[in-house]
């Protein structure tokens, strides 16, 4: 965790981050019940993590030449992927991108700066989540 988040540092920002919306792999799981807007993930969905690009920390469509993450991952981490307002409404170059609330890796391995939980925990959280629900990371 860090109070000085930088692109690529692998740390989770110490902050209060409101949920904005999210994505679900409806081809893999039944979309969880929630009042939060969840879009179906498509193969052409990418997330720009190139600090020098105008679309930095934004959803973009393939093909995309800038550095990016694929939203339709084969490892299942983004089968449910919630977007938190970290460096989105007010963006700072190199301030950190793709800080998501997503599913955990097997064995509960660390993320690269995101927050992750199991699918059963995500379903419980989503039952109460809505746009603006604040996720707090305390240092």
**Backbone angles phi and psi of 92, in degrees to 5:** -120, 130
Q: How many CB atoms lie within 10 A of CB 113?
A: 22
Q: Is residue 115 part of a domain?
A: yes
**pLDDT recorded at residue 65:** 96
What confidence tens digit (pLDDT) does each residue in 50-93 have? 999 999 999 999 999 999 999 999 999 999 999 999 999 999 99
**pLDDT recorded at residue 85:** 98
Q: Is residue 11 part of a domain?
A: no
User: pLDDT grade, residue 130 (50/70/90)?
Assistant: very high
**pLDDT recorded at residue 57:** 98
Q: How many CB atoms lie within 10 A of CB 28?
A: 11
Residues sharing a CB contact under 8 Å with residue 60, sequence separation 6 or more, in sequence order: 46, 47, 48, 66, 68
Q: Is residue 20 part of a domain?
A: yes
Q: Is residue 100 part of a domain?
A: yes
Arithmetic mean of pLDDT, 83-112: 96
Q: How many CB atoms lie within 10 A of CB 106?
A: 7
What confidence tens digit (pLDDT) does each residue in 18-50 have? 999 999 999 999 999 999 999 999 999 999 999
Rounded to two decimals, what is the model's pTM? 0.96
| Longest CA span, the chain | 38
For the chain, the domain total comes to: 1
For the chain, report the end-to-end CA distance as a whole number of angstroms: 7
Q: Is residue 51 part of a domain?
A: no
Q: What residues make up the domain containing 123?
A: 16-40+76-133
User: pLDDT grade, residue 122 (50/70/90)?
Assistant: very high
Arithmetic mean of pLDDT, 121-138: 98
Q: Classify 15 as helix, strand or coil.
A: coil
Find out whether 129 and 90 touch, Cβ atoms under 8 Å. no
Token duo for residue 5: 């988040």
């Amino acid at each position: 965790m860090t109070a000085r988040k930088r692109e690529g540092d692998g740390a989770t920002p110490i902050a209060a981050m409101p949920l904005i919306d999210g994505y679900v792999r409806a081809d893999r799981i039944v979309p969880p019940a929630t009042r939060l807007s969840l879009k179906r993930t498509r193969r052409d969905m990418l997330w720009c993590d190139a600090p020098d690009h105008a679309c930095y920390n934004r959803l973009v469509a393939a093909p995309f030449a800038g550095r990016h993450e694929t939203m339709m991952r084969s490892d299942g981490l983004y089968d449910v992927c919630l977007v938190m307002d970290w460096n989105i409404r007010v963006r700072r170059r190199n301030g950190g991108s793709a800080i998501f609330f997503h599913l955990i890796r097997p064995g509960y391995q660390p993320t690269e700066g995101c927050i992750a939980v199991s699918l059963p925990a995500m379903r419980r959280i989503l039952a109460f989540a809505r746009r603006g629900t604040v996720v707090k990371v305390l240092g």
